[in-house]
């Protein structure tokens, strides 16, 4: 009898099929072309915007239901920041990674299942 635990299942990725890779063997989000911004190669949802800020998804929560994942925001000046999100009874907004030259950090946010 095999008692090995099943490997953890990852979340589906929201890969941009039109993104060009700098590698013949790696996807664009791994091998960004020279000058491409951070989070290049993931889907940008141009129809999800507020005051010029646009939402991008790393976790493809539309392909498969998810209660946690990764995303990003693109500012009007094309600067970017990461989002780590989760649905839970707790709520917070906190820094996950500090500001870097290529992005304004990554931020964690828990949403209540009752958030609208």
Q: Convert the pLDDT of each residue in 61-102 to its tens digit.
A: 999 998 999 999 999 999 999 999 998 888 778 899 899 988
Specify whether the CB–CB gap between 112 and 86 falls below 8 A. Answer: no
> How much is the pTM?
0.82
- The pLDDT, as a whole number, for residue 59 is 96
Would you place residue 3 in the very low, low, confident or very high pLDDT band (cuts 50, 70, 90)?
A: low
- Which burial class, exposed, middle or buried, applies to 46 when counting CB atoms under 10 A from its CB (0-12, 13-18, 19+)? exposed
- Dist. CA 67–CA 85, nearest whole Å: 8
- Dist. CA 83–CA 107, nearest whole Å: 5
């Amino acid at each position: 009898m095999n008692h090995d635990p099943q490997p953890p299942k990852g979340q589906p990725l929201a890969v941009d099929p039109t993104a060009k890779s700098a590698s013949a063997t790696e996807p664009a989000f791994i091998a960004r072309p020279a000058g491409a911004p951070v989070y290049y190669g993931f889907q940008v949802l141009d129809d999800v915007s507020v005051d010029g800020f646009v939402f991008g998804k790393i976790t493809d929560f539309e392909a498969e239901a998810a209660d946690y994942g990764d995303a990003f925001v693109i500012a009007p000046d094309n600067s970017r920041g990461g989002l780590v999100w989760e649905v839970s009874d707790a709520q917070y907004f906190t820094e996950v990674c500090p500001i870097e030259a290529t992005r304004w950090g990554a931020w964690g946010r828990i949403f209540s299942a009752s958030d609208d």
